[in-house]
Structure 1
Amino acid sequence: MFEQYRGKEKAPNQCKDGNIPLINEISTNNGLSKYATPTKVFTRNAITISINYATTVFYQSMDFCASVNISILKNDKILNKKRALFIISQLRKINQKYDYTQKISKDKINDTKIQLPITASGEIDFDFMESFIAELEAERVRELEAYLKASGLSDTTLNPDEKSALNTWNSRIWQEFRIGDFFDIRNTTGLNTDKLNDGLEYDYITRTSNNQGILKTTGLVNQSNLNEAGVWSLGLLQMDFFYRKRQWYAGQFVRKIIPKIKLSKNAILFFTTLLNCQKKILLSVLVRNVDETFRNLKIQLPITANGEIDFEFMESFIKAIQKECIKGVDSYLSKNIATTKEVINN
């Protein structure tokens, strides 16, 4: 179905900054590692699909360059956005076979078989793919609109405290603190997937960066392996921190980060960002050194005039950021709601 190309760029830290998206083997942000100046002529104008060695699959709709660990699938005659998204949903099933320890090759990608709908005459049913993806998009937009209204996030007007938080970020007083004074890091007892049960009650967390670290859900396995809610999970492959709102089980090589102080919902979001800013440092140390390194890391926190941590500023700042982000979503909804309702009605 596709022509397959390989990336030609070096690692992101070996590429000069520029204005062309560099697709690398990360599993977040659509594979975008940085904006670079390509050393090779390797931009793709047509819609393409990118696959990294660990079989993370993304849709690419613009010019980009790619590292040597990236495969690019191209077929100008059949690919458009909706068809690409449908095909990607099938390609992502190969995640079950390959990972960083058993990487997929160019030949294995070419030999991969996927299931696609066909017409009565045996042709690939591209019309069905497009209508199916359109209906899914319409459904998600409708759910998002209802969620924003129900949660009160449809109000995007900044109050004075929120405006002040945005405008005074750089002029705030910040102080350095040791992470270990606020959080502890502990081992989890990992379970293999064959120990899981059918059910939706608990999340099963692995080292993946996708889906907030959730590989699948499970029913109760046992109490001894069950991890509490209100903590962060840390996968030791990508070093991503995800806040756990409900009880969960862990796969292999997953730590949990336990707060020593009481945090509000918005403070949790603030600290999640700070924790994930430590990713580069943690990736540079051996797994056996992660705990000690984590506890001794330093973070900058806003403080009040009397030297107390300024949790009120954190609250206002996060609320302001949320409202600014929702403005963009609201604009998107306004432009697409009429089309969405038409698709749903049809």
Structure 2
Amino acid sequence: MPGKIDASLNEKLKNIQWGEYRIGDLFHKKTIKGIPKSEENLIENPKGYHVFGQNIYYQYPQKVLNDDKYLTQVEPGKPIIAYTSSTAQIGIISESFYRTGDNGAFQGLFPKFEQCNYNQILFILVAIKRKFIGLGYNDSMAHVMDLYIKLPVCDGKIDFTYMDSFVDELKAQQVDKLKAYLSITGLDNYELTSDEKMALSNFGNVTWSKFNLKDLYGLSTRGKRLKSMDRINGELPFVTAGEANEGVSAFIGNKVDIFSKNTITIDMFGSAKFRNYKYGADDHIAVVHTEELSKFSAIFVTTAIHKSSYTGQFSYSRNFYAKDADELNIQLPVKDNNIDNHYMDVLISAIHKLVIKDIVLYVK
């Protein structure tokens, strides 16, 4: 499993017996048919289903209803593994869903084995992910079904019980760590102040104005290409296009341009993300220099940029570049003819608390 694991779990891993299994013997593969833009309906309907973008890490927040022929059915309690052939992104989908867009290869792996639950699929996903390390746009994914992974065995059969208990224990450990982290950092405070409540209630009355991104934050910067084969392992996050891991594709030790924390990246598809750490970036990334903004204001601006840039007009054939960022106009709240940075700070602080509240209550 990824990350650091408690000593007791490490001992369990050392003592388990392992067997090799071909992915094609464990799963059926199905190409997930996307909804053509001309037939797509994204109007919210509580009786509908979620829609995934052309990668499994972007799920539309609303549920919608479309033609049943585009619905991929997933049995309750029996999730599937899905991956994108172009970018080698892979993850779990545990509900019936649609996929938007009739281009791009999006594959579903449906378990052949009867005994199947979320813990077991998660364990298997991690084993498969190891085979995806280093794969990307230039790699063929046609061989996935012929890959072999190692799984725990007991009496010559896959030990599903072990996978269940291992993931349960790992989850419990992570919950304890999360609880301690929230307490130490003060993030366990989710009570809204009067100003935060006011900011939320007044959102519909906010005055907005249009601003050019270059006029606000100067020229955007473009990252530089660094091929996968040339990357040296290190500690610097390296940002590329994509939603997986917020676009961080590797941690490198190469000498590259280092961008400041508290800046915003926009990838080749127009997807904007706030970075609260120093990082490197490839040539599919535009960096907006918001270093002087407060953290919450920068997050607000990130959302404004994303709304303006992530419009569907950018793709593999029409990339978003730094020059596009310089021409981008965004909407921001104003007060007395000036950008209302105070409102942006307070609003994002309130939203931050609303989001963290469920996490705090979950770990209690």
Question: Distance in 2 between the 1:22 and 1:310 partners?
Answer: 35
1:250 to 258, 267, 281: 281
CA contact 2:210–2:332 (8 Å) conserved in 1: yes
CA contact 1:242–1:272 (8 Å) conserved in 2: yes
Question: Distance in 2 between the 1:125 and 1:102 partners?
Answer: 32
Relative to the length of structure 1, the TM-score reads 0.83
1:185 to 181, 199, 220: 220
1:6 pairs with 2:43: no
Letter paired with 2:189: D
Q: Unmatched 5+ residue regions in structure 2?
A: 1-25
Q: Out of 183-192 and 156-165, give the one that drifted further.
A: 183-192
1:148 to 157, 167, 182: 182
Question: Distance in 2 between the 1:32 and 1:95 partners?
Answer: 27
Question: Distance in 2 between the 1:50 and 1:31 partners?
Answer: 17
Question: Distance in 2 between the 1:174 and 1:100 partners?
Answer: 39
Secondary structure of the equivalent of 1:280? coil
Q: How does 1:1-346 map to 2 (within 5 A)?
A: 1-11=26-36, 14-17=39-42, 19-29=48-58, 35-40=64-69, 42-46=72-76, 47=78, 48-54=80-86, 55-66=88-99, 69-75=105-111, 77-96=114-133, 98-105=135-142, 108-119=143-154, 121-183=155-217, 184-200=219-235, 202-219=236-253, 221-222=254-255, 225-236=257-268, 238-259=269-290, 262-277=292-307, 278-280=309-311, 283=314, 290-304=321-335, 306-334=336-364
Secondary structure of the equivalent of 2:150? coil
Letter paired with 1:14: E
The Cα shift of 1:322 comes to 1.2
Q: 1:134 to 1:289 in 2, by over 3 A?
A: closer
The Cα shift of 1:235 comes to 2.8
Q: Taking every aligned residue pair, what percent have the same amino acid on both sides?
A: 22
Q: Unmatched 5+ residue regions in structure 1?
A: 335-346
- Deviations for 1:284-341, whole angstroms, at most 9, x for unmatched residues? 696577333322222111111x21111111111011111111221122223xxxxxxx
Q: 1:24 to 1:295 in 2, by over 3 A?
A: closer
What's the RMSD between the two structures over aligned residues? 2.8
Question: Distance in 2 between the 1:312 and 1:82 partners?
Answer: 44
Q: Which residue of 2 aligns with 1:342?
A: none
The Cα shift of 1:170 comes to 0.9
Relative to the length of structure 2, the TM-score reads 0.79
Q: Out of 2-11 and 286-295, give the one that drifted further.
A: 286-295
Q: Out of 3-12 and 133-142, give the one that drifted further.
A: 3-12
